[in-house]
Chain A
Amino acid sequence: MNLRIISANLVVKLTSFYREKSAMLFTIAFPIILILVFGTIFMSQDNVSYHLCVQDLDQTTSSAQAVKTLELKGTFKITKVDPAVNATRYVIDNQVNLVLIIPKGYESSLMQRMTLNDVNASITIAYIYDPSSSSVATKMQILNSVFSLINQELSGKPPFIRSVQTSILTKKYRFIEFFVPGIIGMSVMTLSLFGTVNLNTELRQKGVIRKLSTTPITRTDWILSNILYQFILAVVSTIAMLLVSYAVFEVNLHIDAWLLGFILLDVFAFVGIGMILTRFVKEAQSAAAAANAISFPMMFLSGSFFPIELMPGFLQTLSKLLPLYYVNEGLRASMVFQDNMTALRYSAIIGAFVVVVFILGIIATQWEEGK
């Protein structure tokens, strides 16, 4: 290992990167765009509010009060529908997925129940809905639970079963704070894998590697300088993502040495996989396709974008075989839960993977033209 040679390589790679504006923009802008897009989506999920159309056929003070209760208890944004229009037509014409109809006689039935205590007095609320909409079932569930609550209050008896919610976390976290570590893990994977595969196949195809093989640089020097280069890019990219996350979404994440540790393990793992790919893929274009074939499933199955618990059982088992899963979970353990033991366990698993992949990568890297 020759530090002078490694630093010379590093300077050349960083200079090339700096001068290739589009690559630099992609490296830093792409993860930031992901954070902004998904962050905005998940921010609204933290304070979810559904749109609800209500047609009040009763037009009384009580029915108006009922609409207000729905707005408050169901956190709905209410649109009032003219009682004169046909509700089914309204759903079709206005492309809404649900219209709730308060029937005529709501107030009189309510008075009958409350003042005369007539248990036979009741009303039927109608849902006119479009079953093809994905959110309509959730809306109806929320509405049913609001109506159950009102029914229970009208009965005048206290509820028998109550619930209390206690988070396992000492602080309240939002979804964006679980999401950011996943995006860091995924971005570092993409940078390292594509960076290694693209750079090495391009340089080999152009004959630069052949020229380098006639100089004192060794395979180890070349690989180490590549690791260092990818690590610097990964750190720069992570800093950009964190700055945007803090500035735009005011995330509350814990940053310590584990973050650097997991970035380094992520870089080693995917530079290693990249080196193995480079050995078997000759052309730069097919190399990019091969890197895509590896990174895409990894991106979606490793819990970068959404929790793996949402997936079927066999996919969850598959996820636990993927290195990125342990990077993501390790980063969450350290950045969200501040759970050093879990972070240590995941770092050990990914560390063992890194050792195997990296040794295979070194063996696979063809330096001399050889045979």
Chain B
Amino acid sequence: MAKETEYAIEVERLTKRYGDLLAVNDISFTVNRGEVFALLGPNGAGKTTAVEIIDTIRTPTSGKVTLLGMDVTKKKHDIVPRIGVLPQGFSSFDRITVRETLRYYSRLFCCQNTDIDELIDLVNLKDKAKAQYRNLSGGLKQRLGIAIALVNDPEVVFLDEPTTGLDPRARREVWEVLLGLKNKGKTVFLTTHYMEEAELLADTVAIISKGKIIAMGSPGELIESNANYLAITLQSVDDRTFEIVRGMGFEPIHDNHKNIKVRVEHTDDVQLILNAIKSAGALYLSLDVRKPNLEEVFLKLTGEDLREDPPEKEAK
């Protein structure tokens, strides 16, 4: 019998090696019950390898993963009925309809009581219930994949890059479904390389780069501790403005549209800059002041752009 712990997932010194490639390098973290945990990193960072070890698809080279109080390498048989998984690049049987697919997976879990209609409603596929899988768009396929991951009413749901390859509208539709899961109190383990996805959905974000976790905390904590500044953007400035700001001791940069971007540490600095520009009679069209986001945190921590897709190294 599994011991009930306060953590849904405990990862201790997990390592996965493929020949010379160290895909996951000695990572440790915990996921609380009922929280949405996001593993954020670029392609090839080791996200999928890590999640596939945790959700029992792969076996680790070393380290220990405890899921719902059970060792994933020893208790797969007991763990599988209690988790739901949307693997990366999810696909299903081409000529089977949405409803039939859900019924099929429900039977695999031997669930007598799965309410297929409720699941179809949850992922908003009522109009497509009789459509065959091959006729669904990418976003609809992913929503079906999420519904399949829920057929056994799992305690922990693993979603590996649920919105990769989707257009912005389809991505937003999937986010709505994931927010629904969050509201239902499910423990959700999410991997993504979209920072806005992690920021919107996750209670805790772990940033992974080159197989190592380099920072972890709530989105707010990560931003606070790693990017404690304000980003000012002045649009359509005249030539003097750049010199005025630099003369005040700040380090402004031009972007491609002749806008000025400058980082300041305090809110008062914004007022000082605006006053200086006004006194000099210089011009600007608009002003944007905002706190940095996770993408900037990631850039600062790794020097890598989260949106760039480095050469695919992640072993499948």
Contacts and interface: CB of A to CB of B under 8 A. Distances in A.
A16 B93 CA distance: 8
A370 interface: yes
20 contacts: A4-B107, A4-B110, A5-B107, A8-B107, A12-B93, A16-B93, A207-B88, A208-B92, A210-B57, A211-B91, A211-B92, A212-B108, A214-B85, A215-B109, A216-B77, A216-B81, A369-B57, A369-B58, A369-B316, A370-B58
B108 A15 contact: no
Interface of A: 2, 4-5, 7-8, 11-12, 15-16, 19-20, 206-208, 210-217, 368-371
B55, B89, B107, B148, most chain A CB atoms within 10 A: B107
Interface in B107-124: 107-110
Interface stretch (B94-102, B175-183, B215-223): B94-102
Given A206-B91, A214-B55, A369-B57, A16 B108 contact: no
A8 B93 CA distance: 13
Interface string B163-193: 0000000000000000000000000000000
B80 A216 contact: yes
Contacts of B58: 368-370
B105 A215 contact: yes
B63 to A, nearest CB: 16
A178 B95 CA distance: 39
A208 B77 CA distance: 19
Nearest to A214: B85
A12 B96 contact: yes
B93 A215 contact: no
Contact of B87 (A2, A20, A211, A216): A211
Interface string B62-103: 000000000000000100110101011111111110001000
B55 A16 contact: no
Contact of B110 (A16, A212, A216, A370): A216
Given A208-B92, A369-B52, A370-B58, A214 B87 contact: yes
Given A11-B104, A214-B83, A216-B110, 4 more contacts: A2-B110, A214-B85, A215-B109, A216-B81
B57 A213 contact: yes
B56 interface: yes
A11 B92 CA distance: 15
Nearest to B52: A369
Nearest to B85: A214
B132 A12 contact: no
Contacts of A215: 80, 105, 108-109
A8 B59 contact: no
A215 B104 CA distance: 11
B90 A20 contact: no
A8 B85 contact: no
A368 B59 contact: yes
Given A211-B85, A215-B105, A19 B95 contact: yes
Contacts of B132: 19
Interface in B269-296: none
A370 B73 CA distance: 10
A4 B143 CA distance: 26
